[in-house]
Amino acid sequence: MSMTNIQVFGSGCPSCKRLYERTVQATKELGLNTEVEYVTDIHRLMALRVIQSPVIAVNGKPVFVGYVPDIEDLKQAIASESEL
């Protein structure tokens, strides 16, 4: 199985931090042994062609933009994009 690349993009605001924490929890619950990268560089966010944060990207593809989904939605999106 290939390595899953998971990134949370945000400014460091409470919502962005909450998305990062939920994403880490979701990966643990899925049994993924992958690091979740927390990115605050606005230029990297703009490279995704999104204008709202927070954003979670799985393997370079934005899957949630502008809000913090619940754990189950995160797990489903990560599993779907990771081909678990």
**What CATH number is given to the structural domain containing 49?**
3.40.30.10
- Give how many domains the chain has, as a whole number: 1
Residues in the chain: 84
Residue 58 lies in a domain: yes
One pLDDT digit (tens) per residue for the chain, 84 residues:
457 899 999 988 999 999 999 999 999 999 998 999 999 998 988 888 888 899 999 999 999 999 999 999 999 999 988 765
Partner residues linked to 65 by β-bridges: 55
CB atoms within 10 A of CB 34: 14
Residue 43 lies in a domain: yes
Estimate to the nearest angstrom the gap between the alpha carbon of 17 and the chain centroid.
Answer: 11
Residue 12 lies in a domain: yes
pTM of full prediction above 0.75: yes
